[in-house]
Amino acid sequence: MSLLWCDKYRPKDFSKLDFHKEQGSGLKSLTKDGDFPHLLIYGPMGAGKKTRIMCLLKELYGTGVERLRSEVMTFTTPSNKKLEIGTVSSNHHIEVNPSDVGIYDRVVIMNIIKNVAQTQQLDLSGQKSFKVVVLTDVDALTKDAQHALRRTMEKYITNCRLILCSTTMSRVIPAIKSRCLCIRIPAPTTEQIVQVIEKTASLEDINFPRNLAEKIAVLSERNLRRALLMSEACKVEAEGKLTPNQNVAEPDWLLMIRETARIILNEQSIQQLKKVRENLYELICRGIPPEIIFKNLLDGLLKQCDLGLTAEILENAATYEHQMVQGNKEIFHLEAFVAKCMCLYQNVLEEMKSDF
Ligand SMILES: Nc1ncnc2c1ncn2[C@@H]1O[C@H](COP(=O)(O)OP(=O)(O)OP(=O)(O)O)[C@@H](O)[C@H]1O
């Protein structure tokens, strides 16, 4: 099976990182001290958090962490409900996304950490005495699960360390932040993305025009994974003959968000609101993070709205996005924002009509 570029060329140790090298050596030095702390690694999507976590694990345990197996684990909730969750693990670590089981995330956290902490490392020569639990999407955990996580991380600190991965810090409770060493991984600059695309292309023995790489770097919004996926898609589309002015296909979810913005401004009615709701549900079901939907919807509205409503739309976006981040049901806040924008737009249109 041939791997996608973004997986095939993922740097496997700190010396191979193409950017944030200084930060990489700082992280490496953490593994040299006897006292490895719990870590909270955060930063935008596609910035390289997972890559650095794998480099850290390799530094701690050697190549053993690359022998991965996927397993489905089963847990039972206090109300006797069976939960199944996918995990990826090696002999030294386990990675899981507890928010995959929704509101039962607390059960997964408590059981996984307990299981890991109760098993000892087999060979202690040259390796650490603790195992590592990597929890992804920590910002999506319920508050209940985060409080359980805080208690569990204190209880099992001798046998187990946590590496938490998150895109934002705002949803992580202060009690977790204060027990971890928090490390921010900034998004690569567009120039750094261009360099990675060029390097990847040369490894693939392809001549990648610089103009095209620059265009992709801008369209990717500094998300390196997205940039590499777009570059590979361009190569497939061009059948090997890439040109500087080649069209870069945008993902269909992005086109759908733009279309949703158009629907909002086209007509303001209950029917249109229903259509928008269908689109929003579809985007959420496809796994597009609500923050990304919000950002791109706002972008689409600002670009397409010609009635001088920028300040009002921005003010409301800030309010509803804040509420969305604090709350649980994202769809409510997205819809409330859409309804508010429709009202604003309709009011201005009516004012204009009455002026005539
Ligand atoms: N220093 C680097 N040099 C070259 N490529 C890199 C580097 N860091 C990351 N990448 C590439 O960028 C892509 C995204 O990295 P990674 O999966 O680590 O990001 P992430 O921040 O964990 O993303 P997400 O939050 O979306 O899961 C990977 O495909 C990886 O190959």
Taking the CB of residue 133, how many other CB atoms lie within 10 A of it? 27
Q: How far is the CA of 84 from the centre of ligand 1 (A)?
A: 28
From ligand 1's centre to the CA of 317, what distance in Å? 29
Alpha-helix residue ranges (DSSP H) falling in 206-251: 210-219, 224-237
CB 76 within 8 A of CB 83: yes
Looking from the CA of residue 43, the nearest atom of ligand 1 is 21
- Domain limits, the chain: 20-184, 190-237, 252-355
What is the CATH number that goes with domain 20-184?
3.40.50.300
Compute, in angstroms, the gap from residue 228 CA to the centroid of ligand 1. 10
pLDDT recorded at residue 335: 95
Note the pLDDT of residue 320.
94
Are the C-beta atoms of residues 68 and 92 closer than 8 Å to each other? no
Whole-number Å distance, alpha carbon 181 to ligand 1 midpoint, is 21
- pLDDT for 31 equals 84
Which residue among 9, 19, 41, 50 is best mutated to probe the pocket of ligand 1, counting the most ligand atoms within 8 A of its Cβ?
A: 50
pLDDT in tens, 279-323: 999 999 988 889 889 999 999 999 888 777 889 999 999 999 989
What does the pLDDT read at residue 3?
A: 82
How close is the Cα of 136 to the center of ligand 1, in Å? 14
Name residues contacting ligand 1 (CB within 6 A).
6, 9-11, 17-19, 45-51, 167, 196, 224-225, 228
Beta-bridged to residue 135, according to DSSP, are: 96, 164
Backbone angles phi, psi at 72, to 5 degrees: -100, 125
Q: What is the maximal distance between C-alpha atoms in the chain? A: 85
- CA 19–ligand 1 middle distance (angstroms): 11
Nearest to 255 by CA among 279, 229, 239: 279
167 CA: nearest ligand 1 atom: 25
Cα 325 off chain centre by: 14
> What one-character-per-residue DSSP string does 149-185 give?
HHHHHHHTTTTEEEEEEES-STTS-HHHHTTSEEEE-
State the pLDDT at residue 356: 66
| Smallest CA separation from ligand 1 atom 18, residue | 48
- Note the pLDDT of residue 1: 55
Class of domain 252-355 as given by CATH = mainly alpha
ipTM of the complex: 0.93
Q: Whose CA is nearest to atom 15 of ligand 1?
A: 48
Quick one: pLDDT at residue 236? 85
Digit-by-digit pLDDT tens for the chain (356 residues) are 578 888 889 998 898 898 888 888 888 888 887 778 999 999 999 999 999 999 999 998 888 888 899 989 998 888 888 999 999 999 889 999 998 888 889 999 988 888 888 876 655 555 577 889 999 999 889 999 999 999 888 888 778 899 999 998 888 999 999 999 999 999 999 999 999 999 999 998 888 899 999 999 999 889 999 999 999 888 888 776 888 888 887 888 989 999 999 999 998 999 999 999 999 999 999 888 898 899 999 999 998 887 778 899 999 999 999 898 877 788 999 999 999 999 999 888 888 877 76
Q: What is the pLDDT of residue 181?
A: 93
Q: How many A from CA of 47 to the centre of ligand 1?
A: 5
